[in-house]
Structure 1
């Protein structure tokens, strides 16, 4: 885990004495994250939204005396992808301890009532967080299969050895708990080569759809164009429909090079794949949200391809 308090320059007010004249003189140049932790405006203003949520989780972690950072906030601190943008920091307590009345909770903090063993707590850089297995379990149990799948997919991609068997042993063993069936399903649907939350959500929607005609769904499917030219697409359906999921960052002009150059490369790649006789579908986040008729555009595109074109024999 990265040393987030240091990375963000977080300052604990309760550790500042009156003798620290420089800090108190320049306090107005800092933003209050919690009643006890501030961050320099210069750093905060430079952060992307997702990093601001990480900073908030770290700030809360520095202020709680008995609680443990859990759920999505813990995943953010572990640098594990989460699906939701909800910045709420979820907290748990060990050994039967409970939080005070809800009216005493600070804004943006939610205490949950679940059993948590001290064996599932890790302390790093002054932050107490749930272990990675417990974090994954809680996300799926509390927020559903899809949320759990996104985080489990990312964990499996980041850390070798986090197989379905390993995760089942870590996340499902022991006493019964609410949401266990959701955790089991998220593990069963997970893979180790999903490149992003966008791909994980798209795959989930395809797998859970009632589309007819899907015989195979290959993530990171290989398409051989020539003996010296091959491409990988996010999904290859029936070895014929190539699906590419494009996130917002892909054409931001920095992540993959200049935008115009990226567009030319993407177009050349798309044409090369189409020239093999395959159908090419390009989609983004907007294609995963239900339309006015309740239908999901990505599934409509795939359904149309399956219905209007017989699957050719390629080779």
Structure 2
């Protein structure tokens, strides 16, 4: 049976296109579709339920559609994407299967299946940016929010990734934390922020990944951010080093263009270190992320060969 009211389907289509494929029941009613008309369209597969009071003309929606649906289901005017959902949007966290996280100002409860609702009295206009039409917590605020519910390692890697991706300028998190109080995540951020923790300042996300491989390889005598003086007198900082066997292990996270332009500099550096007995091995982001087993095996083989050559007695018990 047709809807007794005139439905503006063109307007519905415009809303759906603007909101990544979804529309709320409130918006449908504003376009002339009655509640019973919505139910009939659902039963005839002209609309599909995404979340409570949120629908799509398509049976499936993408991640942006899920984000829009979460905001529409909770409060289209006040809900802000936050926590892990905001971290993914700002490219500081990897996508993961799970609910969408939103923050609502003030106190209280409320939510729906597929959405985690956080409440905050401290969320202000400066904590929010607009991304593809959706209100999202800023990268700095996102770090602080996640820090209230994550461990030190995740927060540290999140900050490094944000700086690496350009979402966070150097010192941005430090500055954001300085003027705040009363948030559960502040203490952890102050403890883990590379801008304020000695020794973590220059490590990159790729170095974090390579670090984990080196830990699994159980390389003895490993030192991070080690300085070596070359034959020319120049001092170089290595990402990782085994000083006892004069082995430098480098994480090469540069783009192909930068690798090409830096080729001569790298070779000069390696020759300078080689003149004082140091060997350098390099691994790219693609190698570390796609073939970690091969990288780990190459590291072990190189360490074993250097150890047998230089320090056989010292390294005889290593079984790496």
CA deviations over 1:69-118 (Å, ceiling 9, x no partner): 210112334x42313514222233324x2214xxxx31122233554332
Rate the CA distance shift 1:98–1:186 in 2: closer, same or farther, 3 A. Answer: same
Matches within 5 A, 1:212-291: 212-217=220-225, 237-238=240-241, 240-242=248-250, 278-279=280-281, 282-284=287-289, 287=292
Deviation at 1:60, TM superposition (A): 0.7
* Contact 1:92/1:116, CA 8 A, preserved across alignment: no
2:63 paired with 1:56: no
2:180 paired with 1:155: no
Distance 1:34 1:82 in 2: 24
| Of 86, 108, 131, the match for 1:74 | 86
Rate the CA distance shift 1:208–1:242 in 2: closer, same or farther, 3 A. Answer: closer
2:136 paired with 1:129: yes
Paired residue secondary structure (1:92): strand
2:52 paired with 1:35: yes
The alignment covers a number of residue pairs equal to 244
TM-score, with normalisation over the residues of structure 1? Answer: 0.57
2:103 paired with 1:92: yes
Rate the CA distance shift 1:39–1:312 in 2: closer, same or farther, 3 A. Answer: farther
Distance 1:157 1:4 in 2: 34
State which structure, 1 or 2, has the greater radius of gyration over its C-alpha atoms: 2
Deviation at 1:157, TM superposition (A): 2.9
Distance 1:32 1:159 in 2: 37
* Contact 1:70/1:129, CA 8 A, preserved across alignment: yes
Unaligned runs of 5+ in 1: 45-51, 219-234, 246-255, 257-268, 289-296
Rate the CA distance shift 1:123–1:15 in 2: closer, same or farther, 3 A. Answer: farther
TM-score, with normalisation over the residues of structure 2? Answer: 0.56
Corresponding residue for residue 229 of structure 2: none
2:147 paired with 1:140: yes
